[in-house]
Structures are given as C-alpha cells and as structure tokens.
Amino acid sequence: IHHDLWDYDLPSMPTLVEINQKGKKVEAVLQATKTGFLFVLDRLTGQPLFPVKETEVAQSDIKGEKSSPTQLFPQSPPPFTTQSISADDAWGLTFWDRKQCRDKLQTLRNEGLFTPPSVNGSVLFPSTSGGSNWGGLAYDPDSGLAVVNSTSVITSQNLVPREGFEGSDDAQPKQGKSIAMMPGTPYVWIREFL
C-alpha cells in the first residue's frame, strides 16, 4: 500500500509455495491482503509472477494531505472478495433496516477501493478487518488451490477535528466503534461498523 491511510497493513504471514508457471516450477510467496488481493511473488527476487498495475485511485479531500495517486492492483489471480459496495447493495433483516443502511451509505464518500478518509465520512470496504486478516491462507500443492478465509465487513471512517473532540458525542464509546487519536495530527479517526 502506498501511503496507507486505511490501516491496510499485511495482517497475516506469507505462504511459501511452488507453482507451475509456463511449464516450470517456481518457488513463490503468496500474500493475501485486507483489500482482497492475492499477490504472487517470486520467492528469490520478490518480483511479481503475474502483472501488477499501478491504478489511479480517489484522492484525499483533507487540506494538506497528499494521498498516493495510484495503488497496486494485481491483474491475476482475481480478487478473492468483493471490493466495492453501493447503496443498492444495502442489506437488513427488515425493510426499515435496509432503508437505514441504504440511507447511511448514500451519505458517505464512496469511490471504491481506497476511498480516503474524509471529514464528511467515507466507506471503508473491505474494512480493516475485511479481506484476509489474521487467518492467512492454506495452499494445496497437488491441486494448486489456495484457500483463503475472507471477511466482507463494511465500515464507515470519519476524520473528526481534534479541537473540541473531548466531551463531544463523537468521543462517546459505543459497540462497533473504534477511535484512533492519531497524535500529531489535527484529526481523530473514527471507524464504525455499518
């Protein structure tokens, strides 16, 4: 991840495998990510064994923040989890639940994977606990099949000005809400499950 604004660190260990590429056995490393990508790298050189493209992504709207204009998108294998969501995808047990979810999604900045945090709120999907997290993956050398446990958690992320944060409603703890104080910045980062 270039200039990680999302907490998309690599949460699990890489998996060492041998794969067949163009009829030749290659010692490789498989790295599953929170974003739902699986990177396949040459174990000796660290170079990708399949094309990886620098892809333009949404830019930060926070004054003074310069987000990376691109992120790395492996072209193969395909993502192992859904990487975008819209208000039309809203789910709930009842019509009321679905409407609340749809209404909330419509208020958030949502420009796909790598939508930056915003003072107006933005969608974080997959969430920092989404995609492949601590569980990593398993690999069957006989079939060449990688099995990845994937989580499709949707959260909102909001940057709240630090000034006046203490004592505000935003500062109150509640279930499904994480607060990161981000010392040295003018903002507090709040993530909530949707």
Query: What gap in Å lies between CA 55 and CA 67, rounded to an integer?
Result: 13
Question: 41 near 48, Cβ under 8 Å?
Answer: yes
54 to 3, 4, 69, 81, 147: CA distances (angstroms): 14, 15, 9, 20, 26
To which H or E segment does residue 45 belong? none
> Which CA distances in Å does 177 have to 156, 180, 193?
10, 10, 7
Please identify which of the residues 7, 61, 88, 103 carries the catalytic annotation: 7
Element (H, E) at 24: strand 24-32
Tokens (6 digits) for 45: 């050189």
Core vs surface per residue 177-191: b (16+ CB within 10 A) or e: eebeeeeeeebbbbb
Least Cα distance to 4 among 117, 150, 133, 123 occurs for: 117
Is 88 one of the annotated active-site residues of the chain? no
The residues annotated with a catalytic role in the active site are 7
